[in-house]
Structure 1
Amino acid sequence: MSSENHPLVSVIIPSYNHAQYLEESVSSVINSEYPSLEIIIVNDGSTDGTSTVAKKIVAESKVVQYLEQKNQGVETARNTGIKTSSGKYILPLDGDDLISKNYIKKAVEVLEKRPEVKVVYCQGVKFDEHGEKPWKLKPFSINALARDNMIFVSGIYRKADWEKIGGYAEDFKLGRADWEFWINMLKDGGEVVQLPFVGFYYRLTGGSNSLRKRTSNDEAKRKRIAYLNKKYPNFFERELNGPLRFQRTWSKPYNTLLKLLGKL
Structure 2
Amino acid sequence: MSDFYQDENLQHAFAEGMAASYTAAAERREERVGVMLAGIPIELRFASPALSAILLPALRHLPPIPEGQTPGLTISAWDRAGSGIAAPPPPFDKKRITDRGDIWGFASRRYRLAFHYSEFSVSLFDREHGNGYFWIDDAAGLPYWSAAAPLRTLLHWCMEASGHQLLHAAAVGTVHGGLLLTGRGGLGKSSTALTGLLNGMDFAGDDYVAVVLEPKPRVYPLYSSAKVNRDQIGRFAALAAHLRNPGGGGDEKAIFDLLPAYRAQIPDEGMPIRAILVPGVADQEESVIDAEIGLDAVRHAAAFSTVEQLPYAGKGTYDFINALTQRVPAFRLRLGRDQAALAASLKHLLAHPLPAGARAHAPSADWPLVSVVVPVYNRERMLPEVLANIRSQGYPQLEIIVVDDGSTDRTADVARTQPDVRLFEQPNGGPAQARNRAIINARGEFVACLDSDDLWPEGMLVHLVDALRRDPQADVAYGWAQMARVGANGDTEFESNPLEGFPFYLSGTVFRRRAFDQVGLLDPELRFGEDVDWFNRARERGTKVLRLDCASVIVRRHGGNMTYGKNLVQLNVLRVAKKVLDRRRAAALPSSSQP
* Correspondence 1:28-47 to 2 at 5 A: 28-47=389-408
Letter in 2 for 1:28: N
Letter in 2 for 1:162: F
Offset from partner CA, 1:24-63 (integer Å, 9 cap, x none): 111111101221111100000011121121112x23xx3x
Offset from partner CA, 1:181-202 (integer Å, 9 cap, x none): 1111222213322333333110
Q: Higher relative CO (CA 8 A, sep ≥ 6), structure 1 or 2?
A: 1
Offset from partner CA, 1:132-152 (integer Å, 9 cap, x none): 11343269xxxxxxxxx6121
* Contact kept in structure 2, 1:91 and 1:156, CA below 8 Å: yes
Tell me how far 1:218 sits from its aligned partner. Answer: 7.9
CA RMSD of aligned residues (A): 2.5
Residue number in structure 2 paired with 1:13? 374
Tell me how far 1:235 sits from its aligned partner. Answer: 8.4
Q: Equivalent of 1:223, from 555, 560, 575?
A: 575
Q: Equivalent of 2:484, from 118, 124, 127?
A: 127
- For residues 468 and 461 of structure 2, the distance between their equivalents in structure 1, rounded to whole angstroms, comes to 10
Residue number in structure 1 paired with 2:556? 203
* Contact kept in structure 2, 1:11 and 1:93, CA below 8 Å: yes
Residue number in structure 2 paired with 1:159? 513
Residue number in structure 2 paired with 1:70? 427
* Correspondence 1:39-118 to 2 at 5 A: 39-56=400-417, 58-59=418-419, 62=420, 64-118=421-475
Offset from partner CA, 1:139-173 (integer Å, 9 cap, x none): 9xxxxxxxxx6121121111111122221111224
For the structure 1 residues 2 and 192, does the alpha-carbon distance in structure 2 shift closer, same or farther, using more than 3 Å as the test?
Answer: closer
More helix by share: 1
- For residues 570 and 401 of structure 2, the distance between their equivalents in structure 1, rounded to whole angstroms, comes to 35
- For residues 224 and 75 of structure 1, the distance between their equivalents in structure 2, rounded to whole angstroms, comes to 14
Letter in 2 for 1:127: A
**SS of equivalent to 1:226:** helix
For the structure 1 residues 21 and 222, does the alpha-carbon distance in structure 2 shift closer, same or farther, using more than 3 Å as the test?
Answer: same
Q: TM-score, normalised by structure 2?
A: 0.35
For the structure 1 residues 156 and 232, does the alpha-carbon distance in structure 2 shift closer, same or farther, using more than 3 Å as the test?
Answer: farther
* Contact kept in structure 2, 1:125 and 1:135, CA below 8 Å: yes
Q: Equivalent of 2:383, from 13, 22, 40?
A: 22
Offset from partner CA, 1:198-239 (integer Å, 9 cap, x none): 33110112232x625335148944333323322344789xxx
* Contact kept in structure 2, 1:33 and 1:101, CA below 8 Å: no
Offset from partner CA, 1:231-252 (integer Å, 9 cap, x none): 344789xxxxxxxxxxxxxxxx
Offset from partner CA, 1:46-85 (integer Å, 9 cap, x none): 11121121112x23xx3x2111111111101001011111
* Contact kept in structure 2, 1:124 and 1:134, CA below 8 Å: no
The structure with the largest alpha-carbon Rg is: 2
For the structure 1 residues 31 and 165, does the alpha-carbon distance in structure 2 shift closer, same or farther, using more than 3 Å as the test?
Answer: same
What is the aligned length? 221
* Correspondence 1:138-217 to 2 at 5 A: 150-154=503-507, 155-173=509-527, 175-208=528-561, 211-217=563-569
Tell me how far 1:109 sits from its aligned partner. Answer: 1.3
Letter in 2 for 1:33: G
* Contact kept in structure 1, 2:375 and 2:404, CA below 8 Å: yes
Letter in 2 for 1:196: D
- The unaligned stretches of length 5 or more in structure 2 are 1-361, 488-492, 589-595
- For residues 18 and 112 of structure 1, the distance between their equivalents in structure 2, rounded to whole angstroms, comes to 33
Offset from partner CA, 1:99-139 (integer Å, 9 cap, x none): 12311111111111212222211233111223211343269
For the structure 1 residues 65 and 166, does the alpha-carbon distance in structure 2 shift closer, same or farther, using more than 3 Å as the test?
Answer: same
- The unaligned stretches of length 5 or more in structure 1 are 140-148, 237-264
Letter in 2 for 1:132: F
Identity between Structure 1 and Structure 2 (%): 26
